[in-house]
Structure 1
Amino acid sequence: MTKEVHINDIQPLLGDDSILIDVRETDELLETGFVPGAVHVPMSTLTVEDNALTDNKDKTIYVMCRSGKRSLNVQTFLLEHDFDAVNVAGGIIEYEGDVNRLQ
């Protein structure tokens, strides 16, 4: 069963038992910035052996991208590998909060 949360409802859900990963490519983060606290794991390089995933196997993994389509694909992949994954609908294009910028 797939679970989903809207990007503007994500901050209260993040804590010690969860992680937010942003699966966009680096050039996209440079263009728009990223949600504070998000961990960058580009979809093009993502594997189930990625430390950002294996180190957080016991946590809920919220997955975001630009609009919510790629993150849905990654969520499906993670669910197939027994991760607790939630798609973040709306992505960065609907996000209304502050963003951090890559240096």
Structure 2
Amino acid sequence: MPKLKITAADLVAEARGQIPELTTEEAIARHGDPDTIIVDIRDVRERQKSGFIPGSVHAPRGMIEFWVDPDSPYHKPVFDQPGKSYLFHCASGWRSALTVARLQDMGFEAAHIRDGFTDWVKQGGPVEQDPAKD
């Protein structure tokens, strides 16, 4: 394979330089805030295997731009709530950094949890298990 012009790690670093990032502690403190919508972009199998943040919205990474865009036939009303803050996460903060950077390019304001769900669990953030897991 030829050498890439830019690596995935380079893309993530670039995105992180352009977007708001919250530490896990800051994100845990905002959990339960009615003006904060936590959005989980992990694959459904990841949520089933390791659980999820209670009250989070599941929006698979592959659909997020379409769900956010009010002109898209796939638009979801959860992403059209004036006054709400959107906080995205994935497992480690890489996919969510790229996602939030792209959404900001679209004009949608959001932040992400820098170290993702893995650190959320490590720091003792609340986790709910998927009942379909059993």
TM-score range normalised by the length of the shorter chain: 0.7 to 0.9
TM-score, with structure 1 as normaliser: 0.86
Structure 1 gaps of 5+ residues are none
Q: Identity rate of aligned residues, in percent? A: 26
Cα displacement (A) at 1:9: 2.1
**2:25 partner letter:** N
Question: How do residues 40-55 of structure 1 correspond to structure 2 at under 5 angstroms?
Answer: 40-46=58-64, 47=66, 48-49=68-69, 50-51=75-76, 52-53=78-79, 55=80
Q: Which residue of 1 aligns with 2:126?
A: 98
Taking structure 1 as reference, are residues 64 and 12 closer, same or farther at Cα in structure 2, changes over 3 Å only? Answer: same
Q: Which residue of 2 aligns with 1:9?
A: 26
Q: Are positions 1:59 and 2:84 aligned together?
A: yes
Cα displacement (A) at 1:99: 0.7
Aligned counterpart for 1:77 among listed residues 102, 105, 112: 102
Cα displacement (A) at 1:78: 1.4
**2:114 partner letter:** A
- Contact 2:28/2:125 (<8 A) preserved: no
More strand by share: 1
Report the number of matched residues.
102
**1:6 partner letter:** T
Aligned residues: CA RMSD: 1.7
Q: Which residue of 2 aligns with 1:37?
A: 55
User: Rg larger in 1 or in 2?
Assistant: 2
| Distance in 1 of aligned mates of 2:116 and 2:82 | 23
**1:101 partner letter:** Q
TM-score, with structure 2 as normaliser: 0.68
